[in-house]
Amino acid sequence: MSSAPLKKELHEENRLSWNEATKAHNSHKGNQAKFFREGGCTLFPEEKELLGNIVNLSLVHLQCNAGQDTLSLVQLGALGTGVDISDEAIAFAQKLSQESGIPATFHRADIFDWLEEAAKKNEQFDIVFSSYGAVCWISNLNLWAKGISNILKSGGRFVVVDFHPVAMMFDTDWSHKFTYFSEGKPLTWEDGISDYVAESSGGLTPWGYEKGIENFHNPYRVHEFQWGIGEIVTALLQAGLTLEVLKEYPYSNGCKLFERMREASGRRMFPPLDVPSVPLMYGIVARSRNSHTDI
């Protein structure tokens, strides 16, 4: 499973597409520094529950995007580091950290490169965290899981909250269009990363939505990877982690993934009444063993 060499050329195209999309996304988010200075937090209850108490724990947020959740984790007491492939996202995160007065370290890198370098430097963390549209960009699950295991301290935890692969089988109109089992083959979208912040009409901007860039068109295509829950869990287990929690949720947080989604309290997005319930998110907590010698 996922034993093929890394598809770095696809990662590079994804980087270009994310650079463009990040500009559009942040154009709708207004004065984020003010939001954070006033104690704002972009985290949802699900990731807070899975993370537990993170005060004074070292935490690396993989695929941190423009840093909003990373800074929110620091607000909750973590010693935060963020890593993302997008130049635009990391530049924004560093600026937001400075303007909000919330200290965090950000690195612009392909996470496979960063994980390898961190392991070489023997950098280790109490928590590795990833969330919301992260795993679909991972081109090699085994390398990803082993990289995470290598940088976790003894007894450290990996926590992920993400959109469920079952949800990724459906087109925006709820029709069953895509396969669940893709055998690691990339799914290419010629229209690139969308302006999903605009499409979610305020669901991702708890402090208020601004019109910003309109009719966004991304000139760079992207490549996603469909991994099933069994593949994800197995990769983590084979990397030497112990599964502690696997949860599934019948809603998506903030993001209107499909047409006609019903918004409930807490910005939870449910299918319309005429669509049967399907899992739209999952959460995993996996813990490092006492040593890495047996991995």
Over range 57-86, report the average pLDDT: 98
* Mean residue pLDDT across the chain: 94
11 and 140 in contact (C-beta within 8 Å)?
no
pLDDT at 243 over 80: yes
pLDDT, residue 110, reads: 98
pLDDT at 190 over 70: yes
pLDDT, residue 1, reads: 46
Q: Rounded to two decimals, what is the model's pTM?
A: 0.94
pLDDT at 202 over 90: no
pLDDT in tens, 134-163: 999 999 999 999 999 999 999 999 999 999
pLDDT in tens, 203-216: 888 888 899 999 99
Set out the domains of the chain in order of their start, with CATH numbers: 8-288 (3.40.50.150)
Over range 222-228, report the average pLDDT: 97
Show the 3-state SS of the chain. CCCCCCCHHHHHHHHHHHHHHHHHHHHCCCCHHHHHHCCCCCCCHHHHHHHCCCCCCEEEEECCCCCHHHHHHHHCCCEEEEEECCHHHHHHHHHHHHHHCCCCEEEECCHHHHHHHHHHCCCCEEEEEEECCCHHHCCCHHHHHHHHHHHEEEEEEEEEEEECCCHHHECCCCCECCCCCCCCCEEEECCCCCCHHHHCCCCCCCCCCCCCCCCCCCCCCEEEECCCHHHHHHHHHHCCEEEEEEEEECCEECCCCCCCCEEEHHHEEECCCCCCCCCCEEEEEEEECCCCCCC
Beta-sheet pairing, 268-270 with 281-288: unpaired
pLDDT at 217 over 90: yes
pLDDT at 294 over 80: no
